[in-house]
């Protein structure tokens, strides 16, 4: 079966390992469309050709680059006609113009289609995006959801087709793996890692929680964005600036090494009216590296961590501080949580596991008749 996937997310080299896993199945011929760059508000994301074996990679122009809802691929129709896939996999939300155009082109050519969604809050969109969403929900053959809440959202919005909950990406456990050894004599190193430093990630809560910790410790913060300067000022005000290091955006290929230096990763996300944590990919990357994790109870975080880490009520600085103290002071707990996290990732969140589930969906789609609205 021939699959054409459209995914700006696959600009990131580490994410391309899932594509290689999908392409490794004997019954799959995979082609993937990516733009040369995505003009993200946090900084341009350029194509990393890191894992491109076994599938065709098309680098196509993108109109309205950087516009999440309005961007689209003008060559997609030609790619569909030339490649003649059985399935068009739109790795995009159903209310985006790119998804609507892709599903429409696929329908015209008798090609089945699916979309992917992280949307775990029932949001209403203005014209024309409400019409785009409605048409896609009626026309698409399948939907992949990144979390269980997203499935509830789209059912409530009227999608009655086939769906499955599968995270967008897993991790390559050969890349994200525990270090050979850790230097436990260097003090306790904990922190956060992401691309954007924004209010919803709750890094200010981490700084407040750390301010009253005793002992020898250091915080590493990866990422950049609108909150960086205020977080630097907060560290100064709390008197811990000499123990907090801001490292900027870490390239995906360097992220395993960055995480391996940590004893603990914290994801203190806070829910906002228009957002709650959709997955927390850095959690599974850290867990794969044998790093202990603490997360808030925002959105999907508790489901990702399971019993392999500690959870605190979002916004609760005192409980977060107590968890930090517990891990710092309890001999062997950090290593036990790290081992449990690695085990959980190997059972649920490897790229191979995610790819196998995705290929199962493709097979189901090819074998099933389409009864969606044309």
Segment 279-299 mean pLDDT: 97
Residue 181 pLDDT more than 90? Answer: no
| Inter-residue contact 30 to 60 (CB < 8 Å) | no
pLDDT at 41: 79
pLDDT at 43: 80
pLDDT at 246: 97
Segment 28-52 mean pLDDT: 93
| Inter-residue contact 32 to 10 (CB < 8 Å) | yes
Residue 373 pLDDT more than 60? Answer: no
pLDDT at 86: 98
pLDDT at 252: 85
Q: Is the overall model pTM greater than 0.85, yes or no?
A: yes
Q: How far is CA 46 from CA 8, 49, 59, 71, 86, in A?
A: 10, 10, 11, 16, 29
pLDDT at 152: 96
pLDDT at 178: 96
Residue 185 pLDDT more than 70? Answer: no
Segment 65-79 mean pLDDT: 97
Confidence of residue 180 (pLDDT cuts 50, 70, 90): confident
129-152 residue pLDDT tens: 999 999 999 999 999 999 999 999
Segment 327-333 mean pLDDT: 93
3-state SS record for 150-169: HHHHHHHCCCCCEEEECCCC
H-type helices in 68-156, by residue range? 76-83, 97-108, 129-139, 148-156
pLDDT at 124: 92
pLDDT at 24: 98
Nearest to 4 by CA among 61, 100, 77, 70: 77
Q: How far is CA 315 from CA 157, 158, 189, 225, 297, in A?
A: 30, 33, 22, 21, 9
Residue with tokens 């999907």: 300
215-268 residue pLDDT tens: 999 999 999 989 999 999 999 999 999 999 999 999 888 999 999 999 999 999
Residues of the chain with CATH 3.40.50.2000: 2-170+350-367, 184-348
Q: List all residues 6 or more positions away from 265 whose beta carbon is below 8 Å from its beta carbon.
A: 190, 191, 192, 193, 259, 282, 283, 286, 291, 292, 293, 294
Determine what percent of the chain is predicted with pLDDT higher than 70: 98
Segment 40-58 mean pLDDT: 92
pLDDT at 184: 63
184-348 belongs to CATH 3.40.50.2000:
yes
Confidence of residue 186 (pLDDT cuts 50, 70, 90): confident
What does CATH list as the number for 2-170+350-367?
A: 3.40.50.2000
Residue 166 pLDDT more than 70? Answer: yes
What mean pLDDT is reported for the chain? Answer: 95
Beta bridge partners of 5: 32, 89
């Amino acid at each position: 079966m021939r699959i054409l996937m459209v995914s700006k997310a696959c600009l990131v080299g580490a994410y391309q390992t899932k594509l290689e896993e999908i392409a490794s199945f004997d019954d799959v011929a995979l082609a993937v469309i990516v733009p040369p760059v995505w003009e993200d508000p946090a900084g341009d994301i350029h194509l990393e050709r890191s894992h491109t074996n076994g599938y065709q990679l098309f680098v196509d122009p993108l109109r309205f680059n950087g516009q999440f809802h309005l961007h689209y691929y003008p060559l997609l129709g030609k790619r569909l006609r030339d490649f003649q896939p059985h399935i068009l996999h739109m790795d995009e939300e159903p209310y985006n113009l790119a998804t609507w155009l892709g599903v429409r082109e696929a329908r015209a050519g008798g090609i089945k289609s699916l979309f992917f969604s992280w949307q775990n809050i029932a949001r209403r969109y203005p014209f024309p995006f409400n019409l785009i969403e409605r048409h896609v929900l009626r026309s698409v053959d399948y939907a992949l959801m990144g979390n269980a809440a997203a499935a509830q959202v789209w059912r409530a919005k009227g999608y009655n087709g086939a769906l499955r909950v599968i995270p967008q990406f897993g991790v390559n456990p050969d890349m994200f793996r525990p270090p050979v050894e850790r230097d436990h004599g260097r003090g306790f190193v904990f922190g956060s890692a992401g691309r954007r430093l924004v209010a919803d990630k709750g890094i200010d809560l981490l700084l407040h929680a750390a301010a009253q910790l005793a002992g020898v410790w250091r915080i590493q913060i990866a990422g950049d964005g609108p909150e960086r300067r205020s977080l630097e000022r907060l560290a100064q005000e709390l008197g811990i600036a000499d123990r907090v290091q801001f490292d900027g955006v870490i390239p995906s290929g360097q992220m395993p090494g960055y995480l391996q230096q940590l004893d603990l990763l914290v994801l203190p996300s806070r829910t906002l009216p228009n957002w709650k944590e959709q997955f927390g990919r850095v959690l599974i990357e850290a867990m794969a590296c044998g790093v202990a994790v603490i997360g808030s109870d925002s959105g999907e975080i508790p489901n990702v961590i399971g019993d392999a880490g500690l959870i605190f009520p979002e916004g609760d600085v005192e409980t977060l501080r107590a968890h930090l103290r517990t891990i710092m002071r309890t001999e062997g707990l950090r290593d036990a949580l790290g081992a449990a996290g690695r085990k959980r990732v190997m059972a649920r969140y490897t790229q191979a596991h995610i790819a196998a589930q995705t290929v199962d969906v493709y097979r189901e789609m090819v074998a099933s008749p389409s009864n969606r609205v044309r």
